[in-house]
């Protein structure tokens, strides 16, 4: 099983457990997430691309995977995701350039190889 598959399984298992435990904080987080990523003056796609760039800067691999997948589901192209990664690189400098390597792996998984 690949690292990306393992991350997806762990994320789904944690979601199921927190939901079954009736975590009020987790429920509030999910409500906030739905509100934050809903179409508004910015589309869901634009918001997911913003989250991709932030994920690169903070080096959250699970976040990169989730938001790249969500951006693609919202209609973002490989090139749009790449540009969001590039904004993250610019904002985070050298460390974000290293973090972006993982984003490229996720992009290959989501969009196929170039």
What average pLDDT values come out for the chain (114 residues) when binned by 10 residues? 93 96 97 98 98 98 97 98 98 95 95 86
User: Is the CATH number 1.10.3720.10 carried by domain 3-111?
Assistant: no
What pLDDT, on a 0 to 100 scale, did the predictor assign at position 113?
A: 84
* Domain boundary assignment for the chain: 3-111
* Cα 20 to Cα 15, 26, 51, 97, 103, distances in angstroms: 8, 11, 27, 38, 31
What pLDDT, on a 0 to 100 scale, did the predictor assign at position 1?
A: 87
CB 69 within 8 A of CB 110: yes
What pLDDT, on a 0 to 100 scale, did the predictor assign at position 80?
A: 98
CA-CA distance, 91 to 107, in Å (whole number)?
Answer: 20
**DSSP assignment letter at 42:** S
**Residue 113, Cα to own-chain centre: how many angstroms?**
19
Q: Interior CA angle at 82 toward 47 and 95, to 5°? A: 95
Q: At what angle do helices 3-20 and 24-37 cross, to 10 degrees?
A: 120
CA-CA distance, 75 to 80, in Å (whole number)?
Answer: 10
pTM of the model: 0.92
């Amino acid at each position: 099983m690949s690292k990306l598959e393992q991350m997806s399984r762990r994320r789904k298992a944690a979601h199921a457990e927190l939901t079954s435990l009736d975590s009020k904080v987790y429920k509030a987080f999910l409500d906030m997430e739905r509100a934050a990523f809903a179409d508004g003056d910015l589309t869901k796609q634009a918001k997911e691309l913003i989250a991709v760039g932030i994920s690169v800067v903070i080096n959250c691999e699970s976040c990169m995977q989730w938001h790249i997948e969500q951006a693609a589901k919202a209609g973002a192209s490989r090139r749009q995701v790449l540009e969001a990664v590039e904004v993250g690189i610019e904002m985070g400098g050298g460390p974000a350039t290293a973090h972006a390597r993982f984003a490229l792996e996720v992009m290959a998984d989501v969009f196929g190889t170039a």
